[in-house]
Each structure stands twice: as C-alpha cells, then as structure tokens.
Amino acid sequence: MSGLRDRLARHLKPGKTAAAPEAGAEQRQAELTPEQAQHGPAEGGGPAVCPLSESAAGAVAGPAREPAAAPVAAGNAPAEGSAPAEGAHGYAGHASGGSPADARSGSGQAVEPAASAAPAAPAPAHPEAAAWAKLDAELYEFPGGSFVRRVRTYPMDAYHGRYRLDALHEHVREFGAFHPEAEPVHAEGLLFFDTETTGLGVGAGNVAFLVGIGYYETGRFVVEQLFIRHPAEERAMLAYLEEKMNRFTHVVSYNGRTFDWPILQNRFILNRMRPDIDRLLHLDLLHPSRSLWKHSMPSVRLGKVEEAQLGYAREDDVSGAFAPELYVLYLAEGKTDVLRGVFVHNERDIVSLAALSALITRYLADEEPLEPKSPGDLFRLGQWLLKMNRLPSAEKILELGFSRLQEQGEEGRTVSGDLLLRYAAYYKKAGVRDRAVELWNRLIRQAGPAAAAPVEAYIELAMHYEHGCKDYALALELSREALDVLRQRRRLLRRSEKAADEERRIAHRIERLQRKLRDCGKSVSEKKASVKAAIPSRPPKPPGQARSAKPSGKPRPAYAADSLFDVARNPG
C-alpha cells in the first residue's frame, strides 16, 4: 500500500507530516490514568495521530479537536449527546459526540441488579471499540448484524457560515414550490442525505460505504453517519436506514437525484429489500444552484457554493474524490485513523445542505438581501423565481436588475452582450417592447467593429420594425446590416453550416422585404385615385324615366312558333 500512500500524500496539503502512529500511541497511553487506559480517552481528549499527514487523515479545522466518545461494549448502543462540545469544525455552535448509554431492559427501563446478587462483571469491550471511539463513532448492533455509527449533534443557534441552523424553520414551507401538489413541508420531515461511495457510477458494483443523514429534532440538528467495515454489514446498515426513513416526507440532497439515490435503491434491491422509499419527495439542491449561479461561478460543486453563497470556507478538507482510496487503505491496513477526514467531509456536506436549504427558502420567500448582487445574478434569480411560480417576487427582482443595467450604462460600463439579449428577450415575451428595443440598440452601439456586432440584435430589430411598426424600409436596412456582419465574420472564421443557414434565412428576409416595398411603392392616395379612375362614370337618369331592361349579352334564338305569333298580331 506504499504506492497508494504516496499518491494520496502528493495530492494533499504538504508540510504537515504526522508522527509515527506507534510512538504517538505509546505517548498517549503513558499520559492516561488507569481508568482512562481501560475505557479510552475522555471526552475532549487529543486527536488520534494519523499514519498519513493530517490533511490525508482529515484534520479538523480549528485549534481544538473533536471530542471522542468512550468505547462501548459490543451490543450496547450509546445515547446521543446533546450538549455542544468546544472546538469542532470551527462552527460557532459546536457539535457534540455520543456517550455510552446505560444497559436497559426490553421495556426501556434501567435494569436494577438483585440485592443479594454480586455486582455483574462489565461486558468485555470489543477489540475495535476504542479505535472507533477516537473518531467519535461506535460499533452499533442491529437485528441482522452490526455496523459503525457516528452521531453528531448541533444546537439550533449554531452557525454554518452566515446562516444559523434554525433559519430553515422560518420559511421551510416555501419548499412546497418544488412539489405544489404535496402536503405542506415541515422541517422535522426533511432528511438531509449524502453518501461516500467506492466509485462514480450507479451500477451494481458501486457501494455506498458511508451514508450520512441529517435531521431536525427538538432543539437540535442531528447528523448520523453509517459506515460498513465490510460488505457483510451492508444489510444491517440498510435495515437501520430504512427504519429511520419512515418518519420523513422529503429527502434533501445535492446531485442525489441522479447519483446518491439511485445507488441506494440499487443496494436495497441487491440485498433483496423492498423499502417504501419512493414515497419520499426529492429536493435536489443542485438544480436551483445551477439556475442561480452556473454563469457567475467557475463551479457549482457544493464546496464552492457554500464558500461563495454561505460564507463558509473549509480548512484541511479531504476531497470526496479521495474517499474511495482512503477506504481501500482502511480495508488493507485496518487503521481507522485514515477515515477521520472522510467522516468530517461527509458531516460538513450534511450541515451545508441544511444551511443551503435556508438560503433557497429565503429566496423563495423574498427575504434575502439583494444589494450586493449584479444585474446578471438578479436576472438569473428572477428567471428561477418565474419557473417556481413566484411571479411578484420575480418581477420585482427583474425590475431591480434592469435599473442596475441602466446605471451601468450611464456610467459607461460595458455589459455582457448575452445578458442584454436575455433581458431583451424577457421584455419581448412580457410585451414591453420599448425596453427590448432599447436593449437591442444599446447592444449594437457597444459592440464596436461590425464583425463583433451581434447578429441577433439586428434580426430582432428587423422583426420589430417589419411586423410591429410596418416600417419595411428600416427593417430592410437592418437585415442588410445583419447579412454584412455575417459575411465579415466569414472572412475571419471558418465557414460553418450553421452560419450558411443563417445567411440563407437573412437573404430570404431581404427578398421578402423588397417585395413588400415594391407592393407598397404607391401611397394610399395614389391607390385610391387609380381605383376610382378604373370605374366608368354613368350619366344621370332623367326624372320619371322607367328603368330600361338590361340588355342581354347573347342574341335571342329564333323559334318556329314565332311566325304564328306574328300572324296573330298582324291579321291583314
């Protein structure tokens, strides 16, 4: 495994080399009291030293380390801690780990030993319990097997970047915009979900070795992480997860709809389990993040979004891309310390989902400040709100964006041509053509050389003057300008079939406009005069004159009986 270690070390932060694990373990053991030596380090003790660098082991940001839960006997589940511990991850309100629970009877009551019986001997500790306790984790027994569980709790007033964890409660019902036909959304019905897997595909060979879930309970936010040490533990872990999911109505993820959730469904099927998880409505926050920030950020990965939009910057974070290699390293060497960074990375992802949910619901509720935002950000936010059927908020934000465009124009600042075209297209669709025309003209003015001028603006203006104003002469002039721009570009760039099709369409438009101008060559008065001259004048009728029979255009045919009528009229 030395090659794997070297490869990981090259990709991680240099300059933080850890002491040898054996020496560090002996030093810590010498500093423990006899009771601590038996039961493991007390809560708030020093961190385990990783055989890799601290970065590779997932060193936690901040001067102090996470509190380690005491090791537990196999089969006893620890109670979840509720008091915040100092120095975890750099949050304003820190998370707390678990603590051992008392043995309980099947009815849930504490077991009282008999008065005459000797005190029961403590259950022997599992050989790995102390190692997992250093990561604030435990060996958790569940019907069908065991797995590793790590529980972290946060107080509701804890901050993740600029947002408190209880901020989602204020506008959580706004999530109903994603599924308008469903019941109202409640914070306690949201399950925040993220996985760490052995690969990038969604096929049967990709295993979720770590499943992280987060949820709101009374007065706290809980993060549970379920880890399998080997494939035999997967069924027990999935059974626990299925039982946990029964109380929730929605799943919140980041790219979970196309990655994490299909993997989880595959794992259930391969383990011959048929949970009713399709009833859960999915809220994939990647899609609104793309709509809002794809054009203003180099990447919409969760780590980049939380830094730019939530104000939370990770320190010494192990990238999710290294999680599979660290898991392979754990399988090869059996040392839990190498997984610390994977657990911390997954935990941060879960907490970021809660904070990002608060931000998105504030946008839907029109409660997020908009002052620092650029016209482009405001346009994308307004378009997204239109799609989410928040029409009043969308119109207000788009109006604010147009005002800032005007301010930048007065200051002589150049605005992206694509942004001007998008605003113009919005106002054209909304029927506000004067603003659309203003933006198209502004785009042509700021374009500079003819070859750099936007053909779309010329075409849109030509269509406006042809169909809206019936000014065929101006429409023809604009169409000729558009054709000239395309031909100048053809001299600079390689000719493409798309450009050739566009030239043919513009040429056809020019022919149509020329034909319309020929048909409209005479004025309306000239047309009326020509029509009047074509109608022959009739002499006035004399007063009292009977109306003459209308002459027939065809000669009357002669019949044999006509002579008989003539004899009768003239007998002599």
Q: Is 314 exposed, middle or buried (0-12, 13-18, 19+ CB in 10 A)?
A: middle
- Say whether pLDDT at 281 is over 90: yes
Mean pLDDT of 30-49: 40
Decide: helix, strand or coil at residue 506.
helix
d(CA 415, CA 413): 6
Q: Return the DSSP state at 307.
A: I
pLDDT: which is higher, 237 or 71: 237
d(CA 305, CA 293): 8
State residue 29's pLDDT score.
43
What pTM did the predictor assign? 0.69
Q: Which CATH number fits domain 2-100+126-364: 1.20.1070.10, 3.30.420.10, 2.60.120.10, 3.20.20.100?
A: 3.30.420.10
- Say whether pLDDT at 81 is over 80: no
Decide: helix, strand or coil at residue 13.
coil
pLDDT tens sequence across 510-536: 999 999 888 887 444 454 455 455 444
**Residue spans of alpha helices (H) in 124-190:** 129-133, 168-171
Decide: helix, strand or coil at residue 470.
coil
**Residues whose CB is less than 8 angstroms from the CB of residue 223 and which lie 6 or more positions away in sequence, other chains included:** 95, 151, 152, 153, 154, 212, 213, 214, 347, 350, 351
Highest mean pLDDT among 87-101, 293-307, 479-493: 293-307
State residue 55's pLDDT score.
37
The two tokens of residue 232 are 């035999």
Highest mean pLDDT among 188-192, 323-327, 536-540: 188-192
Mean pLDDT of 334-339: 92
pLDDT tens sequence across 217-238: 988 999 999 999 999 999 999 9
Phi/psi of residue 290, each to 5°?
Answer: -65, -45
State residue 156's pLDDT score.
94
Same fold across 2-100+126-364 and 448-520: no
Instruction: pLDDT band for 509, please (50, 70, 90 cuts).
Output: very high
State residue 489's pLDDT score.
78
State residue 103's pLDDT score.
37
Instruction: pLDDT band for 143, please (50, 70, 90 cuts).
Output: confident
- Say whether pLDDT at 379 is over 70: yes
Mean pLDDT of 189-196: 95
State residue 548's pLDDT score.
53
State residue 72's pLDDT score.
40
d(CA 168, CA 353): 11
State residue 96's pLDDT score.
59
- Say whether pLDDT at 362 is over 70: yes
d(CA 317, CA 344): 8
Asked if residues 176 and 185 have their Cβ atoms less than 8 Å apart, the reply is: yes
CA distances from 61 to 66, 186, 462 (A): 10, 32, 59
Q: Which CATH number fits domain 448-520: 1.20.58, 1.20.1290, 3.30.230, 3.30.70?
A: 1.20.58
Instruction: Express as a percent the part of the chain with pLDDT over 70.
Output: 67
**β-strand partners of 146:** 141
Least confident of 122-131, 141-150, 195-204, 343-352: 122-131
Mean pLDDT of 377-391: 94
Least confident of 4-13, 45-54, 345-354, 474-483: 45-54
d(CA 84, CA 50): 25
pLDDT tens sequence across 536-559: 444 555 555 555 555 555 565 555
State residue 10's pLDDT score.
55
State residue 543's pLDDT score.
58
Query: What average pLDDT is seen over the chain?
Result: 76
Domain ranges of the chain: 2-100+126-364, 448-520
State residue 129's pLDDT score.
86
State residue 433's pLDDT score.
92
Least confident of 92-106, 186-200, 282-296, 496-510: 92-106
Instruction: pLDDT band for 136, please (50, 70, 90 cuts).
Output: very high
Instruction: Count CA atoms closer than 13 A to 423's CA, side-chain side.
Output: 30
Mean pLDDT of 32-49: 40
The two tokens of residue 22 are 């054996």
